[in-house]
Structure 1
Amino acid sequence: MSCKGCPPYDEHDKSGINFPRCFQWVRGACTKKNPGNVASIHSLAQQVMPKFFDGLELDYVHRLAPHKYVTASWVLSHMKAAGFRFGGLYTFRLTNDVMRTPTIIGDIHPSTQAANLNILYYPFECLRMEASLQKGRDNTPVDSQLTVELTRPCDTWSANFYSVRKQTGRCTLSLMRAITTHVALGGEMLLEWNAPQKLSTDYALAARYSHHNYALSATASRNGVDISYWQRIYPQIQMANVLAYNYITNKAIATIGYQWNFWDAAVHGMIDSDASVGVMWTKYLSNFPLEMGLSVVLSVPTDRFAFGMRFVVDPSGYRSSE
């Protein structure tokens, strides 16, 4: 390309006439916030919904340093694996609350040798690499999940690999981009194989419209549609509505949940279209490093309910500072 028709480019010209060189690279600016990834598009509504538990749970958390702590738990439940587990979190090098090396999180069941291991690392500020390994009891194969995520000012690129082997495996590739300050669109592609020469694919679309006090999110694929709505009614009260419809079974379920925060307690509740009602209450004691919780869920059609109690002892105050 010729620039003979352009004004002369001379950095030392006193006339003030400056013309950029041909094909000059000019960096742009993005005023829109990062929309997150497709997997967390319904996270605002899911955080409001209670996480029920049954039986009895006893947890102990002790912080040894800002970047390492140990945990121990004993569970007596029908929903979770019962027994005693211990583990912890450790970051090799931490500078001003910034992780300079991978963070390792894990726990193990001493009697069955069942273990969980999670490794999180940010080699760059915009790149997240995470590996999750789960080993069951006896000689069951290890389940793995590998995640590589690139975060930019206006979009997020993610790749997840689930128990990838030569014979079987699953992989998802997703992109979420902020179109405007309030609108974000994205898509996800699923690759799944059960044999070396058999590969099945599926696609999903995602969209979200959000403001500072409410958000509407939706995902759609060939199997169904999921819609969620979150709103902060008052500074201490949040509400969420979730609707899920499955094309294959031609069934739909709707759930309404709420969260009410007090200065030393929190209450979560839900009711769905299957006539299930549940409440979860959490209390933080100020004079003793103890967090206690109660969980009750009732199914009216089956006339069955589940009740649970949980106690978390934290002498270092790690959980209360979160």
Structure 2
Amino acid sequence: VTRNGAHRKTGIIANRCRTRQKVTQPMVAPHHPSNHRPKASVSKMPKKPSSSCREDSPPVDEPCLPSQHRTERLIFPKPLITVEGIARAPLNPGDFASLHQRTYELRPEWFEGFQLNASKTLAVHRIVRASWNLSHVTPTGFRVGAQLQRRCSDSVLKTPLVAFDVNPGTLSSNVSLLYRPVASVCCEINVQVPPRGGSGTEDQGPVIDKASLQHTGSSTTTTLRCYRPGRDSCRLTLDHLMSYNDRLAIGGELLYEWYRNTSNAQIALAARYNHERHSFAATGSREAFDLSYWRRVNGRLQIGSSLACSNREGKAIGTIYYRLEHPDCTVRGLFDSDWSIGFTYQR
């Protein structure tokens, strides 16, 4: 009981705030002389708690934050304001020709006849190969080749890259050259040298099988390709693929080809949706369209399906692929609507 008869109640310490709340109760009437009337006691309501504490707010002279000057007013932070964010461009979508790559990588590698391959890595930028084929589809004989590249610079292989293989008996060879003058531009050319021997092919010179020029941006890829250029025939394609975001990519391709006095031009559109565990791609034009789907079921099994329709041939083929990986072997297989069934076992 205080001196004037009022009670004081100590508040609860919350959030490191020393709070006090005064609770005023009715005053006990002391003894007064008869000529003076006692004044009625007035109970005061507790002050409204401040927003700086939960419920029990401190008095004005006792701030929540420690301060040397007890009478210093609290300064609250400024309200939140809108600031300009940082936007990151989506990833590069890759090449237009690799839209269905995830699905087609599940296909078995077919070969006909007998094939023996051997390779030796001399260094990280030098590889030699040798192969012997016995087949009715591929050229029969022994071939030797190599792949040469510039040395590493900061753990990155530099171009140009040269890959070739040659038949020692007929001197027929295939040569591929890849060069990047700058990081965003890539030039590639494939040349075929016919065999030397026989009157029919002696005067033939090297033939350019394919030449391409590609520009790779942060979120776009543009490629110009030329197939078998000659006086009477040629085929040109110009494609552009753009990433809308990290999941979706859209693009188009312009095809122009001619053979003697006949020419043809077409436009194709494509789209692809990528995810870590599944992917869907579609390519369509006036004469054909392709659909593909890929999914990773678990860490060992991958499945995929494709549908190819051609208006020119009036035919459609649907195929289902699978790939099963084990620590010591890999199994790939497929079966389609033409009743083609097969698999390969690799160990």
- Give, in angstroms, the shift of residue 198 of structure 1: 5.5
CA distance in structure 2 between the aligned counterparts of 1:60 and 1:112, rounded to whole angstroms:
21
Residue 29 of structure 1, CA deviation: 5.0
The alignment-based identity, stated in percent, is 33
Q: Does 1:114 align with 2:172?
A: yes
- Aligned pair count reads 255
Q: Could you tell me which amino acid in structure 2 is paired with residue 114 of structure 1?
A: S
In structure 2, what is the equivalent of residue 76 of structure 1? 134
Gaps of 5+ in 2: 1-85
Q: CA deviation at 1:34?
A: 1.1
Question: Match of 2:192?
Answer: 134
Give the Å deviation of 1:76.
Answer: 1.4
| 1:194 CA displacement | 2.4
Q: Which residue does the alignment assign to 1:51?
A: 109
Instruction: Quote how far apart the aligned CAs of 1:80 are.
Output: 1.9
| 1:256 corresponding residue in structure 2 | 320
Q: Do the aligned partners of residues 238 and 94 (structure 1) sit closer, same or farther apart at CA in structure 2, a change above 3 Å counting? A: same
Write out aligned runs for 1:147-296 (5 A).
147-195=212-260, 199-283=263-347
Structure 1 SS opposite 2:305? strand
1:94 aligns with 2:152: yes
Q: Give the one of 37, 52, 63 matched to 2:121.
A: 63
Amino acid at match of 1:146: A
> RMSD between aligned alpha carbons?
1.7
Bigger Rg, structure 1 or 2: 2
Deviations 1:230-268 (A, max 9, x none): 111111111110100111222110010101111121100
Compared CA separation, residues 46 and 250, structure 1 to 2 (3 A): same
Question: TM-score scaled by structure 2?
Answer: 0.70
Letter in 2 for 1:105: A
Aligned amino acid, residue 223 of structure 1:
E
Contact 1:270 1:278 in 2 (8 A): yes
Q: 1:33 Cα shift?
A: 1.4
Q: CA deviation at 1:79?
A: 2.8
TM-score for both structures, normalised by structure 1: 0.75
- Displacement of 1:166 in angstroms is 3.2
Match of 1:20 in 2: none
Unpaired segments of 5 or more residues in structure 1? 1-27, 284-322
- Displacement after TM superposition at 1:100 (Å): 3.0
Question: 1:25 matched to which residue of 2?
Answer: none
The AA in structure 1 aligned to 2:93 is P
Local SS of the residue matching 1:165: coil
Q: Write the distance in 1 (CA, Å) between the matches of 2:264 and 2:313.
A: 20
- Cα separation, 1, equivalents of 2:345 and 2:317: 24
Does the Cα contact within 8 Å between 1:49 and 1:240 map onto a contact in 2? no
Contact 1:58 1:74 in 2 (8 A): yes
Distance 1:44 1:81, change over 3 A: same
CA contact 1:93–1:100 (8 Å) conserved in 2: yes
Residue 33 of structure 1 is matched in structure 2 by: 91
1:124 is aligned to 2:188: no
Q: Residue 97 of structure 2: SS of its match in structure 1? A: helix
Contact 2:189 2:208 in 1 (8 A): no
Give the letter for the 1:248 counterpart.
Answer: R
Tell me how far apart the structure 2 counterparts of residues 96 and 76 of structure 1 sit (CA, whole Å). 43
From the superposition, tell whether residues 254 and 136 of structure 1 become closer, same or farther in structure 2 (CA, over 3 Å).
Answer: farther
Task: State the 1:167 CA deviation.
Answer: 2.8
In 2, the alpha carbon distance for the partners of 1:276 and 1:133 equals 34
- C-alpha deviation, 1:161, in angstroms: 0.9
User: How big is the shift at 1:193?
Assistant: 2.1
CA contact (8 A) 2:233 2:258 kept: yes
